[in-house]
Amino acid sequence: MKMKKYTAETMVDAMKKVRADFGDDALILSSNVVKSKGFLGFFKKKSVEVVAGFDEPTLKMEEPVLPFLSPSFESTDKTSIELKKEMFEMKTMLKEMQQSANHSRLPENVKPLLTHLEKQGLSAEFITQIGEEIFDRMKAEKKDFTHEEQYLIAKDFLERTMRDLPFGGVSFNKKYINVLGPTGVGKTTTIAKIAARALLEKKKKIGFITTDTYRIAAIEQLRTYANLLQAPVEVAYNSQDFEKAIAKLADRDLIFIDTAGRNYKEVKFVEDLTKLIDFSLDMESFLVLSMTSKEQDMKIIVEQFKAFSIEKFIFTKMDETSSIGPMFNLMKDHSIGTAYYTDGQEVPEDITEADYQTLITLLLKGAYDA
């Protein structure tokens, strides 16, 4: 194995140097944050020191050896996030290359469906599996399939992939409904929609706790919704406040917890949640993601929340995107289903309880439009 030490200002810069020397099959053997001595002990600068190595590749192209971070460094600063993005993009590029090679051998009349799924943002792996299933069926029956027959095969494949995942809204079996997610995804409005339905349709006594104390506007927004629903609101600035809020709302059937919208790509903010909220309570936790976000950003956020028991996803802003494939990619990769999706700001109208058949229909809609 060839080995070499690199020093750079950030992990991203170090990885560029590694790739320039060893290519994408390099192995990161160690990584550390170091500080220079500076002038007279002052003005110290942080830098990254990486030891990389290279062996002759033994894996197939679809199983690339990708760089990884040592556990001691992985969550120390933002460079780990940038590296995760680069890794995601690299994997995506390799899969797309493999996908293109696989598609070239398929009959021409199958390609409109696969092109539609690409535009929807469905993963290369997903699309290849669907294309292969259609092609294998054609070979077995020794004939070309019509677009309608291809549609049914794709629909059947997606149903088999999705049907064992959990779908549907709040179970009403647990007292606490915890709604998590990054800033700007519409958590507060989504909570109001779910709470309104619980009150109006299920006749539940509801209450709210907000831990989003970073933005006064967020507290006031929740208070406005709570006043309309004639429900109490408690504000928790710390874990002691949270315990007091739980006690005050003890008579409620359901308590909705609105968490702070932060940049949860950073581990620090995820850890802050565990210090504030008692996750041992009889609780359902939902992770809210916006369909207007980049897929690699959503993937990183889901990874950050792995320590929590996420029951289901809630996808917002469906009306602001024309591609819902990333929703399916996330569900498949993490074996997490979807509770709701939203498509507007109206409370409580613009929210739909999810089921996989409807979502598959939406994904395949327009597959053969001219």
Q: What is the pLDDT of residues 48-66, one digit of tens each?
A: 677 777 655 444 434 333 3
Q: Which two tokens stand for residue 159?
A: 């149903």
Gyration radius of the chain's alpha carbons: 24
DSSP string of 353-369, one letter each residue:
E--HHHHHHHHHTTTT-
Choice between 159 and 183, residue whose per-residue pLDDT is larger? 159
**273 has a pLDDT exceeding 80:** no
187 with 317: CB under 8 angstroms? no
Domain ranges, ordered by start, for the chain: 2-73, 98-162, 176-354
**292 has a pLDDT exceeding 80:** yes
Q: Which two tokens stand for residue 340?
A: 């709701």
- Predicted local distance difference test score (pLDDT) of residue 50: 72
Average of per-residue pLDDT values in the chain:
80
Average pLDDT over residues 294-322: 89
- Predicted local distance difference test score (pLDDT) of residue 14: 72
Cα–Cα distance, 37 to 8 (Å, whole number): 15
Q: Given pLDDT bands bounded at 50, 70 and 90, which one contains residue 218?
A: confident
- Predicted local distance difference test score (pLDDT) of residue 346: 83
Choice between 73 and 178, residue whose per-residue pLDDT is larger? 178
List pLDDT tens digits, range 220-260: 888 999 999 999 999 988 889 999 999 999 999 999 999 87
CATH class of 176-354: alpha beta
**92 has a pLDDT exceeding 50:** yes
Average pLDDT over residues 108-119: 88
Count, in order, helices (H) and strands (E) of the chain. Answer: 13, 11
Choice between 168 and 28, residue whose per-residue pLDDT is larger? 168
Locate the DSSP E strands across 170-296.
Answer: 176-180, 206-210, 233-235, 254-258, 283-290
